[in-house]
Amino acid sequence: MPTLHKVSVVFFGVLTSRWSGLCVFLCFIFRTNYPSMSVSLVLLGSIAVGYIIWYVATKWRVWRVASKAPMISGYVPIVGHAHKFLGNGVHVFNVLKDVSKETNERGGVATMWFGPYLVYVVTDPETVHKIANECLKKHFLYSFGEAFLGQGLFTARSVPIWKRNRKLLVPAFNQHILDGFLEIFNEQSRVLVSKLAVKVGTEKFDHFPALSKNALEIICRTALGVPKLGENLVTKAYSEAASKMFSIPRQRFVKFWYHNDFLYKRSSLKRQEDQVAKIVHDMSNEVMQTTKLTHKEKDTNTDNYGSGRRFKVFLDLMLELRDKGELTDQQIREELDTIIAAGYDTSSTTLMYTLLLLGSHPEVQDKVYRELTEVFGNSDRDVTKADMPKLVYTEAVLKESLRVIPIAQVLIRYAQKDVKLKNVTIPKDSTILLSVAGMHSHECWGPDVEVFRPERWISGGALIPTPAAFSAFSVGRRNCIGKTYATMSIKTSLAHLLRHYRVTADMDSFVLKHDFIIKPESGWQIALQRRN
């Protein structure tokens, strides 16, 4: 590690310490007003020097270990690499992309500094898999989303809370229940086809509003058991609030002075967060109250999807757990906010990206249509449980879309213990940035890693060397609980949409931004033509 960096980190640490800052301030006061008080000056000076020695001693091991890993370019004394992230969401997306690329070029593990704080960047799939399973504690930056999602599965930084809730909620995503959702998946897909019919033959249009509203309907009718949402729930205000829910944490991250709660609570961004959180919570509260009334009328031992706790849909299961004293109303609402806001937004965004990529690669779209014709013939029938495993190429397209444009660009964890890697040991309590984008562009995918090629997922194509190389649904033990649910829902929507419409799009004008999850900034419009 450069000597200049050690000096700058010590300087930064001293300036930001309330203890040493007070020492320096008192030394100045005494030196100015009481020059004869040399004993006090010596005492205060000794305290300051003692602190510096202590600070260096506690950081020495971190510096020594960090020196064994390459450092990302662009380092500036005192601030480290923090200056690189000052900018809008598009800028942050590009910086993270460049950092991931450089880390891959440097062997899969590199370091960055944010002032005195060291961050390990990891892109090597095998290494990421090891870290993700050993380090389950999420970084404090996830607390920026707690105003919206509380301690739900996505934002929970407490490992015991996450483990307990994950274990309690896994039965709600039993395959038997998911198969029972197919009827609703088909019904809502037909609704989506009907709504998009007015856009056939027109110029390119923004298809995301229709996709997001449809995804919200699916989430509420399936996982939450709400028979049908009213227009007063699925509003434009809610869709905009759900989008800002991801944008606000990113803005707070970039404006590092807002990491301080005292300053943040007095900012305009906090007032905006309060407004957005109210809209998000009003939605989940109304859904919860509606389901509570329905829940009271049901036989607590049976429902439409089976019998016993194992076959309860998501919200029914949570309400049952509340009745047993295992979950509180607050915990239920936090998980409800997570599955509604995070679940519907990510699934609709994934479908949007998939249609955009298919519209930009007509030869791939033709292959999907041929597969759909082989499975369904010329009929417009529903997708069945038996059809799902036959849609091999359709699923390959979905996976390849998520590889090329993952929903989450990075995952951030704390090292709960020393993590021994091939060439370096990451010290306990270090911050680790697991780059999903870096893993998805790793050399293990082959020389055509930048190419959208669904065939790589088909048997006989380029085999994936390790499961960790694909981390679109996170990686390790804290992976997405709704992975199978989302895959079935999106495959059903694609089957209906592509049997009716040919999609046209242009990736050349497509721009992405980092808003906690990856979002489009421009160029995501598509055009539709009806198939014969």
**Residue range 159-203, pLDDT digits in tens:** 998 998 899 888 888 898 899 999 999 999 999 999 999 999 889
Q: How far is Cα 345 from Cα 213, in angstroms, rounded to an integer?
A: 9
Q: Which two tokens stand for residue 222?
A: 């399936």
Q: How far is Cα 497 from Cα 211, in angstroms, rounded to an integer?
A: 11
The per-residue pLDDT for 464 is: 65
Q: How far is Cα 185 from Cα 188, in angstroms, rounded to an integer?
A: 5
* Domain locations along the chain: 140-530
Q: How far is Cα 250 from Cα 268, in angstroms, rounded to an integer?
A: 15
The per-residue pLDDT for 389 is: 94
CB contact set of 229 (below 8 Å; sequence gap of 6+): 216, 217, 220, 221
Q: Are 496 and 186 in contact (CB under 8 A)?
A: yes
- What values do phi and psi take at 305, rounded to 5? -110, 5
Please return the burial class of 249, using the count of CB atoms within 10 Å of its CB with bins 0-12, 13-18 and 19+: buried
Please return the burial class of 172, using the count of CB atoms within 10 Å of its CB with bins 0-12, 13-18 and 19+: buried
| Structure-derived torsion over alpha carbons of residues 376, 379, 385, 389, reported in degrees to the nearest 10 | 10
Q: What does DSSP say about strands 431-435 and 410-414: parallel, antiparallel, or unpaired?
A: antiparallel
Select from 83, 64, 72 the least CA-distant residue to 120: 72
SS3 assignment, position 113: strand
Q: What does DSSP say about strands 501-504 and 527-530: parallel, antiparallel, or unpaired?
A: antiparallel
Q: Is 135 annotated in some ligand binding site?
A: no
The per-residue pLDDT for 283 is: 79
The per-residue pLDDT for 305 is: 39
The per-residue pLDDT for 27 is: 57
Q: Rounded to whole angstroms, what are the CA distances from 332 to 150, 164, 186, 337, 503? A: 10, 13, 28, 9, 40
Q: How far is Cα 376 from Cα 382, in angstroms, rounded to an integer?
A: 9
The per-residue pLDDT for 299 is: 47
Q: Which two tokens stand for residue 385?
A: 């449980």
For 331, what's the count of Cα atoms within 13 Å in the CB-facing half-sphere?
20
Q: Which two tokens stand for residue 79?
A: 């601030």
Q: How far is Cα 183 from Cα 441, in angstroms, rounded to an integer?
A: 37
Full strand arrangement of the beta sheet holding 109-114:
109-114, 117-122, 431-435, 410-414
CATH superfamily of 140-530: Cytochrome P450 (1.10.630.10)
Q: Which two tokens stand for residue 145?
A: 């989303």
Q: Is the dihedral of CA 145, 146, 147, 148 positive or negative?
A: positive
Q: How far is Cα 309 from Cα 300, in angstroms, rounded to an integer?
A: 9
Q: Which residues of the chain have pLDDT under 50?
A: 15-16, 18-19, 22, 299-311
Q: How far is Cα 412 from Cα 145, in angstroms, rounded to an integer?
A: 14
CB contact set of 500 (below 8 Å; sequence gap of 6+): 193, 530, 531
Q: Which amino acid is at 112?
A: M
The per-residue pLDDT for 291 is: 66
Select from 403, 340, 428, 409 the least CA-distant residue to 153: 340
Q: How far is Cα 275 from Cα 245, in angstroms, rounded to an integer?
A: 10
Q: How far is Cα 185 from Cα 214, in angstroms, rounded to an integer?
A: 10
| Structure-derived torsion over alpha carbons of residues 12, 16, 17, 18, reported in degrees to the nearest 10 | 150
Q: How far is Cα 343 from Cα 335, in angstroms, rounded to an integer?
A: 11
Q: Rounded to whole angstroms, what are the CA distances from 49 to 55, 56, 77, 358? A: 10, 11, 22, 63
SS3 assignment, position 20: helix
Between helix 343-360 and helix 236-254 the angle, nearest 10°, is 90
Q: How far is Cα 348 from Cα 296, in angstroms, rounded to an integer?
A: 32
| Structure-derived torsion over alpha carbons of residues 236, 405, 498, 214, reported in degrees to the nearest 10 | -20
Q: Are 500 and 531 in contact (CB under 8 A)?
A: yes
The per-residue pLDDT for 304 is: 44
Q: Are 517 and 407 in contact (CB under 8 A)?
A: yes
CB contact set of 195 (below 8 Å; sequence gap of 6+): 210, 214
Select from 521, 524, 530, 527 the least CA-distant residue to 208: 524
Q: How far is Cα 312 from Cα 293, in angstroms, rounded to an integer?
A: 16
Q: Which residues of 7-46 are buried (b: 16+ CB within 10 A; e: fewer)?
A: ebbeebbbeebeebeebeebbeebeeeeeeeeeebeebee
- What values do phi and psi take at 284, rounded to 5? -65, -35
